[in-house]
Amino acid sequence: MNAINYKQYENLIKQLAWAWHHRSKIEFKELLSEGNVAYCIAKDSYDENKSKFSTWLWHTVDLHLRAFVQKECQSKRINQQAYNQHENRGLAHYDSYFFKLFSHFSEEAKQVIEIILNSPNEFLDIANWNTGSISISKFTDHLYEYEIPWKKSSRIFKEIKTVLASI
C-alpha cells in the first residue's frame, strides 16, 4: 500500500467541509476540524482491496460531517425550545427594554450599534484583552471602513458611552 499523505487529500476535506458549511451555516473551521477527525478514521479503517483511498475518504468524511451537522441541528433545536420556554416566562421584557434603550440613541449611533452587533468578531479583534477595552482610535479607524468619518465616529462613540453610563 502506498503511504497516505494528508496534503494530497486536504482539498477534498476542505471541499466537503465548505459544502456542509453552506448547507448548515455551521462554522467552516469547526466542520474542517471534524473533517480532519474523519480523515483519521478513514485512514485507520481503509482497506485497499475494497476501493481507492480517495473514494473511501470522501464517503467517510461526508457521512461524518452529515452526522455532526444533524447532531448540531438537534442541539440547536433543543436550545431554541429552551429559549422559547424561558421567553414565555417573561424574557420578552428584555427585548422591550432593549428597544426602549435603543430609542435614546441618534440615528447615527443606531447605525454604529447595528454595525457592532452584526459583526462582533471584527471588534473583538481590535480589543485590548489586557485592559478589557477598545481604544477609540482603533474603533474609529475601523468605522472609517464603513464610510463613517473619524470625527463623527468619535462623537458617536462618546454618545453611546454617555447613554450607557446613564442607565
Domain co-membership, 73 together with 111: no
Tell me whether residue 20 is in a domain: yes
Domain co-membership, 73 together with 22: yes
Q: How many domains does the chain have?
A: 2
Query: Of the candidates 78, 95, 121, which is a domain's last residue?
Result: 78
pLDDT at 108: 84
Query: pLDDT tens per residue, the chain (167 residues)?
Result: 568 888 999 999 999 999 998 888 889 999 999 999 999 999 999 999 999 999 999 999 999 999 998 888 777 765 556 555 554 544 444 456 666 777 788 888 888 877 777 766 666 666 655 555 666 677 777 777 778 887 788 788 788 888 878 76
Rounded distance between C-alpha atoms, residue 84 and residue 65, angstroms: 28
Q: Which domain holds residue 136?
A: 104-165
Torsion of CA 156, 152, 116, 141, to 10 degrees: -130
pLDDT at 80: 58
Residues 6+ apart with CB under 8 A from 18: 28, 31
Tell me whether residue 91 is in a domain: no
pTM (predicted TM-score):
0.48
C-alpha cell of 127? 480589543
Tell me whether residue 96 is in a domain: no
CATH number, residue 38: 1.10.1740
Cβ neighbours of 84 (radius 10 Å) = 10
Domain co-membership, 67 together with 115: no
pLDDT at 66: 92
Query: DSSP string of 101-113?
Result: HHTTS-HHHHHHH
pLDDT at 94: 47
**Residue in 67, 74, 61, 58 with CA at minimum distance from that of residue 33:** 61
Helical axes 6-24 vs 28-45, angle rounded to 10°: 130
Tell me whether residue 98 is in a domain: no
Domain co-membership, 10 together with 66: yes
Domain co-membership, 69 together with 109: no
Domain co-membership, 69 together with 112: no
Domain co-membership, 72 together with 127: no
Domain co-membership, 11 together with 63: yes
Tell me whether residue 125 is in a domain: yes
pLDDT at 84: 55
Query: DSSP string of 50-94?
Result: TS-HHHHHHHHHHHHHHHHHHHHHHHHHHHHHHHHHHIIIIIHHH
pLDDT at 90: 46
pLDDT at 124: 63
Tell me whether residue 85 is in a domain: no
Tell me whether residue 87 is in a domain: no
Rounded distance between C-alpha atoms, residue 129 and residue 119, angstroms: 18
pLDDT at 150: 76
